[in-house]
Structure formats: C-alpha cells, structure tokens
Amino acid sequence: MEEKQDSLLSGVKEIARRAKVSRATVDRVIHNRPGVSVKTKNRINAIIKELDYQPNVLAQRLALTSRGIIRLAVLLPDISEETEYWKAPLEGINKAEAEIKQYGLQVDYYFFDQNVQSVFALQVQQIMENNPDGVLITPTFEPDSIRLLEYCKTKKIPCVLMNSDIAGQHRLCYIGPELFDSGYLSAQLVHYCLKDQQKVMIVNIAREIENNAAILVKEEGFLAYFKEKLSERLLVALNTTDTRHHAVAARLNELLELESHIGVIYVTNSRVSLVAQWLESIGRSDIILIGYDYLAQNIEFLKRGVIDFLLCEKPQEQGYRSVMTLFQFLVFGTLVKEDYLIPIDIITSANYRYYRN
C-alpha cells in the first residue's frame, strides 16, 4: 500500500514541478476542485495528458478515509451442530478477504445464532455503533435487518444482502438465489417424480419458520406451481420448530400413518438429512426425497440413494461475490446496475463429484 501511495505522490510531484505549481494545486485539478485559474488548470491538464498520468484510484480512496483502511461489517449466522451450511459462504468471504486485504480493506465479522433473534439484534446495534464503510448481511430476522438497512441508507453506507432478500428495501444489491423460482423448480421436479394416487409432503424444519424468509418464499413458489399445474389437494404439510432428530422422526411417523400414499418428500432447507436418516431407518426406499445444499452429510445420503435430488445455490460464490462487490464499489466506484442471481443447480448421485459450491 505504501508503494502505491508513493507512486501516486511521485506522479503528482513531477506534474507540479513541470507546471511550477504546488502539489496541492495539482491535486485540486485532478479532483476537479475549485480554486485554480483556468490558465493554470489548462497547463496542468496538458502536462497530465503529455505524461499519460493515471491517478491511482485505490490510493486516493484510501487516503480519504481517516483510518487509512476500508472496513466491511459482515453479519452472518454462526456454524452450528444443526447445520454446516454457513461454512460455505464464510469460506467465500474469507477467500475474498485474503485477495484484497493487501489493499487496505478489513473485514469485521459479527456472528449470531440463527435461532436467537436477540443476538442478531445486538450484533446489528454493534455494527451501527462501529460505523463501518460497507455492510454485508444475511437478513435472517427481518425487523432488525430493516433497522440496519435504514441506518445504512441514512449514513450512505452501501449494504449488500446475501442468500435472501427483503422486498422494497434500499440496498446496493442482492446476491443469492431467486427463492420463489427455487421453490417453483422444486415443484416441477416433484411433478416429474409423482405417480398416480401419490401425495407430496412438504417439510419445513427450523426453529424460526414464521420469520424465516428463505423458507417461506421457497414454499410460496412450490405452492404456486401446484396451483397452476396440479392441485394443492396433493400436498401434505409438516412444520416443526424442534430440529432434533428424534422429534422430527416422531412427527414424520405420525404424518405417514395418516397419509400412507406419500410418494415424494420436499424439504425446504439443508436439514433434509434428518428426513433421510428417518427414511433409511424405516426402510422406505420407495419415497423420493428432495432437499437443499451440498453438505457432507447430505452428500452421504445422496451417494446411498436415500436423497434423490439436492438443489444447490453456490453459497461459497455468494460470499465471495458479496465482498468483492462492496470492495469494487467502495474503492473503484463501480456501479451496481442489478442484483446477481445465483443459478439453481440440481445435484444427483451421478454428478455430485463434479460440483463446486
């Protein structure tokens, strides 16, 4: 960074020497600030053109910050025993950080338990108190996420939403899957697998279902397909906020006794392995199982044929792109014209070896 700044200063110094003015005057012209006569400005611009001088945008931007660095606040669910999903986006964020930290960018991490809204709220408050230059969040809890987004809007702090979006909110961009389409695609896949007289079980497993936008929007897309192409009467719903295996298995057993013609089960998140474990334990290899995410436990069940399809949305790429988007906007002023929607991939036992998150 010192070398880049030295290079910038030496260029300005040479222009000032040739124009017989101070470096401050050259700086005013480069940044189009007032206080320089037209004659002097024209002379300086002619020398800049002659030398083909290209100001170091990065060094200039860093020089404008009082800290000499650009700080990004990342608000992300912690990796837990319940799910290793958040390991992948964190790896992507770490990869981006490793590539750009030499340019004076620092990533500050704020982790929270995705089952505890109060911790999320405390981390939001901490971010606002620390006043970062950019923010990356996964908006797990919508009210507190909106509070942070409104703060960022007031302070003109760019904010990127990752993995799930909040409609109607001001943010730099959203990077992640189109969740409605993800649910719709899942229903289309279910349709291909469904046989006559069979029903579909749609399973939501999360301690926070009512406030979980990712689950709710995917479910909305799934239901929309059945309304358009089939019938909602073919659907059987199971919602459980108890994510322990024995509790999930007990609920599944109860529902299967009532609905014996279940042919396909669709799980709206990465906890599909809980259902796979149950199916394997009761020996029901005839039921098609569809769920989400390229996780080690899910892949094991996929290899054994218990899980038939995994929908994957490149979480590592989401993390990487989110940080790089903020970096390019803050340092180079790169305009973000639209959201970046991640492809929705269908993984099976035949192609899982070639997939990368």
Q: Are residues 163 and 230 in the same domain?
A: no
> Which of 64, 80, 109 is the last residue in one of the domains?
64
HSE of 86, CA atoms in CB hemisphere, 13 A: 18
- Burial code (b: 16+ CB inside 10 Å, e: under 16) for 121-151 equals bebbeebbeeebbbbbbbbbbeebbeebbeb
312 close to 117: Cβ distance less than 8 angstroms: no
Block residue for tokens 């960074």: 1
Collapsing DSSP to helix, strand or coil, 73 comes out as strand
Q: Are residues 184 and 305 in the same domain?
A: yes
**pLDDT on residue 4:** 40
Give the sign of the dihedral formed by CA 194, CA 199, CA 200, CA 205: negative
Q: Are residues 144 and 194 in the same domain?
A: no
**pLDDT on residue 6:** 41
Q: Are residues 244 and 277 in the same domain?
A: yes
Q: Are residues 216 and 247 in the same domain?
A: yes
Q: Are residues 130 and 162 in the same domain?
A: yes
Q: Are residues 194 and 257 in the same domain?
A: yes
Q: Are residues 39 and 110 in the same domain?
A: no
Q: Are residues 195 and 304 in the same domain?
A: yes
Q: Are residues 268 and 158 in the same domain?
A: no
- Burial code (b: 16+ CB inside 10 Å, e: under 16) for 82-97 equals bbebbebbbebbbebb
Query: Which domain does 11 fall in, by range?
Result: 2-64
What are the start-end ranges of the E strands in 140-234?
159-162, 173-176, 199-205
In this structure, what DSSP letter does residue 84 have? -
Residue 355 covered by a domain: no
> Which of 30, 64, 98 is the last residue in one of the domains?
64
Total H helices, total E strands in the chain: 13, 12
The H or E element containing residue 302 is: helix 296-303
Q: Count of domains in the chain?
A: 3
- C-alpha gyration radius of the chain: 26
Residue 352 covered by a domain: no
**pLDDT on residue 10:** 53
**pLDDT on residue 1:** 41
Q: Are residues 172 and 188 in the same domain?
A: no
Q: Are residues 299 and 208 in the same domain?
A: yes
First to last CA, the chain: 32
Residue 235 to residue 224: CA distance in whole angstroms: 12
Cα distances from 45 to residues 52, 95, 151, 222, 274, in angstroms, run: 10, 40, 40, 60, 67
Vertex 178, ends 177 and 181: CA angle to 5°? 125
Residue 356 covered by a domain: no
> Which of 13, 47, 64 is the last residue in one of the domains?
64
pLDDT (tens, 9 = 90+) of the chain, 357 residues, equals 444 444 444 577 888 889 999 888 887 887 677 889 999 999 988 888 887 776 665 555 555 454 568 899 999 999 766 668 899 999 999 999 998 887 778 899 999 988 788 999 999 999 999 999 999 999 988 889 999 999 999 999 999 999 999 989 999 999 999 999 999 999 999 999 999 999 999 999 988 788 787 899 999 999 999 999 999 999 999 999 999 999 999 999 999 999 999 999 999 999 999 999 999 999 999 999 999 999 999 999 999 999 999 999 999 999 999 999 999 898 877 888 889 999 999 999 999 999 988
* CATH at 126: 3.40.50.2300
